[in-house]
Structure 1
């Protein structure tokens, strides 16, 4: 799956807020206020409920760093930040939570301009399969060179070929995301 990363505006250049930016910020503020009102009305959790939710969250593992892209964004408040989003997301402002500005504290602060910077980390290199020593050919192996005859490959040969193909796929994926 190849993702074509989008950009909108230039975060480092001057930026004039549009009516759409003001509307999106207003909607984000209204949603945040509604959520706060709902949370305030909710009954407190029992210790048992808290423990169950904590156990569910403890079982969650975050994706590895090489599955994240870094983005430079300009927030509604005018501040510029670098954020991380999963590499499958073509834009940092879709299907995600609004961002909190680390400089002025505006929360939520919608993203008004953005550009991709690059991957957070490089994926680890695939381990090279040890090369099996070549055994001298026997008569049964020589028959493979005759037309219509095939030899059986060993498990080590298949594992080495599998590892080489996986490394090639990973190399192609990395070159695709650049």
Structure 2
């Protein structure tokens, strides 16, 4: 699966916020305020219900680090940061994923420019297959014949019998 990653602007260059950036930031702030109001109206959860939710969410396996892509992003507040997103996502601003700026604390801060940096980690090397080839007594590489295996079996049986007699003496 090949993913074509998108970019928008250059996060490290000077960036002028557009009307669309201001509109998206305003929408993100409105949504965050609405969510806060809804949460304030909600009845408090019991410890048991909270524990059940944690168990439910805890059972969701986090993908391994090599399934994430690193992105350099410029936030609405003009700060540049790195974020990680799943490697199937072609942009770091997909969905409702506004960031909280770790420098100034602006929350939410929409992503206004971004570029892909590279994988968050390298995948582990695939396990090497064990070779089915062996070296026969004649020194050649290849699969051993039935006659060779029977001869080796016979030699080993004689060796085991000799060891048994030595131990018995």
TM over 0.5: yes
TM-score (norm 1): 0.75
Q: Which residue does the alignment assign to 2:110?
A: 110
Q: Which residue does the alignment assign to 2:143?
A: 135
Tell me, in whole angstroms, the C-alpha distance in 2 between the residues paired with 1:111 and 1:91.
Answer: 10
Stretches of structure 1 that go unaligned for 5 or more consecutive residues are: 140-178
Matched residue SS, 1:50:
helix
- The structure with more radius of gyration: 2
**How far did 1:136 drift?**
3.0
Matched residue SS, 1:69:
strand
Alignment of 1:84-163 (within 5 A): 84-132=84-132, 133=134, 134-137=142-145
Task: Number of aligned residue pairs: give it.
Answer: 139
Tell me, in whole angstroms, the C-alpha distance in 2 between the residues paired with 1:138 and 1:41.
Answer: 80
Matched residue SS, 2:69:
strand
Tell me, in whole angstroms, the C-alpha distance in 1 between the residues paired with 2:113 and 2:107.
Answer: 17
For each residue in 1:79-130, what CA deviation from the matched residue of structure 2 results, as whole angstroms up to 9, or x when unmatched? 0000000000000011241011000000000000000000000110111011
Tell me, in whole angstroms, the C-alpha distance in 2 between the residues paired with 1:57 and 1:95.
Answer: 20
Q: Which residue does the alignment assign to 1:49?
A: 49
For each residue in 1:3-29, what CA deviation from the matched residue of structure 2 results, as whole angstroms up to 9, or x when unmatched? 100000000000000000000000000
2:73 is aligned with 1:73:
yes
Q: Which residue does the alignment assign to 1:82?
A: 82
**How far did 1:58 drift?**
1.8
